[in-house]
A = this chain, B = another copy of it.
Amino acid sequence: MDIHQKIQRLNNIKTDLFGKDFLLTWEKEDSSIRMILEVANILKEMRANNISTRLFDSGLAISNFRDNSTRTRFSFASASNLLGLAVQDLDEEKSQIAHGETVRETASMISFMSDFIGIRDDMFLGEGNKYMREVGAALDEGVAKGVLPSRPGIVNLQCDMDHPTQSLADLMHLKQQFGSLENLRGKKIVMSWAYSPSYGKPLSVPQGIIALMSRFGMNIELAYPEGYELIPEIVDIAKSNATTSGGSFNISHSMEDAMKDADIVYPKSWAPFHIMQQRTELLKNADKQGLKELEQQCLANNTWFKNWEYDAKKMKQTKNGDALYLHCLPADISGVSCEAGEVNAAVFERYRIKTYLEAGYKPYVIAAIMLTNKFAQPAEILTKIVERKRLRMGF
């Protein structure tokens, strides 16, 4: 299928993307999910063929990272640049935000000439997604009151609930590896907790994975040691999705058992829901001693589950002993990045390049979210890009 045909197909997809923030995959129609994947795929092909996909002659994309990040930061920067936007960091350490500015005010102040705001805020349960919505409400008010010439879009670059650009990149990878979204039907995917010598890892990746993958008729197995629950409401969404899509959803408490006949595995550490709730309270109260104790307790607790490492033995249990291994990276690799971790070094090495391929979809997913937010007719603008025949490098 050539690029024109791929673009033509978009005409049949009605979405709820134009002018809307992208905060949670489960707020978006199936058609919108498909649109993001198709547009991302087209942009990827265009770039590989040295076609300039620049859509903005000038414009700003604000990156607001309230937690550390390398790969998502670069993905956001890459996506912005691909479309012609310059990235401006909102660095709260060097800004006046730390001095009592309200979210509402800052949101307006950074948006007079912004086209997009990417936010990562995954540290505090109950806070990150809420913060993004507060920013969104402030922007809505700004447009309504004539403060802003247009409404910058917001893209969730990871919050306490979801990590949509990650799960969509993962989905693109699955589509590519299995040939189509339809081929995912009936496949077993295991989202499993894994041991890590660290503390406080967000829940957004496992939550994002079960909530998104359950929409494609897959059999979802969520495995974790008792006590490592996810946010119940999001688990309910995944269950409901599985029913609707003709798949299934199961929770179990043995990594080894869960892996049986798996087509896809995603072994990844996270902090237990109730611990993260306690942590949020302690953080709000700036209770340093309490936080220290919680960390110790949590790390001690983790060590009971050091056998939750994805190793050769568990891999053998999977379909043909070769389930596709997924990870959002960086993985805690036993003997490499830590003494004992989420995955055995030899097992990781076997799928290492595939995890890079998986990660490589993220910039295009973000660019597709941006494009579909700003252009009501993606097929039209993509056609114009092809016809423009402008090279990205050289001329």
Question: What residues of chain A have their CB less than 8 Å away from a CB belonging to chain B?
Answer: 47-48, 52-60, 65, 68-71, 73-75, 77-78, 81-84, 86-88, 90, 94-97, 99-102, 105-106, 108-110, 112-115, 141-142, 145-149, 329-330, 332, 336-338, 353, 356-357, 359-360, 362-363, 374-375, 381, 384, 388, 390-395
**CB distance B54 to A54 under 8 Å?**
no
Copies per assembly: 3
Additional 15 contacts, C-beta under 8 A, given A53-B58, A55-B393:
A48-B149, A52-B57, A54-B57, A58-B81, A74-B88, A78-B113, A81-B86, A81-B88, A100-B338, A101-B337, A108-B356, A109-B356, A145-B356, A146-B357, A147-B357
Separation of A142 and B375 alpha carbons in the complex (Å):
33
Chain B residues near A57 (CB-CB < 8 A): 52, 54, 390-393, 395
Separation of A57 and B69 alpha carbons in the complex (Å):
27
**CB distance A145 to B353 under 8 Å?**
yes
Chain B residues near A97 (CB-CB < 8 A): 70
Chain B residues near A83 (CB-CB < 8 A): 58
**CB distance B384 to A395 under 8 Å?**
yes
Chain B residues near A94 (CB-CB < 8 A): 65, 68
Q: 7 closest Cβ contacts across the A-B interface?
A: A100-B337, A78-B113, A70-B95, A52-B57, A147-B356, A71-B109, A48-B149
Chain B residues near A149 (CB-CB < 8 A): 47-48
**Closest-CB distance, A340 to chain B (whole angstroms):** 13
**Closest-CB distance, A159 to chain B (whole angstroms):** 18
**CB distance A395 to B113 under 8 Å?**
no
**Given A70-B110, A353-B147, A395-B384, A60-B88 contact (CB < 8 Å):** no
Q: Which residue of B lies closest to A337 (CB)?
A: B100
Task: Name 9 A/B residue pairs within 8 A (Cβ), A-sorted.
Answer: A57-B393, A71-B109, A74-B88, A74-B109, A86-B86, A99-B337, A105-B329, A112-B363, A147-B360
**CB distance B68 to A96 under 8 Å?**
yes
**CB distance A329 to B109 under 8 Å?**
yes
**Closest-CB distance, A138 to chain B (whole angstroms):** 10
Chain B residues near A48 (CB-CB < 8 A): 149
Interface centre among A73, A363, A393 (most CB of B within 10 A): A393
Chain B residues near A81 (CB-CB < 8 A): 58-60, 86, 88, 113
Chain B residues near A95 (CB-CB < 8 A): 68-70, 73
Q: Which residue of B lies closest to A92 (CB)?
A: B70
**Given A337-B102, A395-B384, A113-B58 contact (CB < 8 Å):** no
Chain B residues near A74 (CB-CB < 8 A): 88, 90, 109-110, 112
Chain B residues near A78 (CB-CB < 8 A): 60, 88, 112-114
Of B115, B146, B332, the contact of A393 (CB 8 Å cutoff): B115
Separation of A250 and B59 alpha carbons in the complex (Å):
44
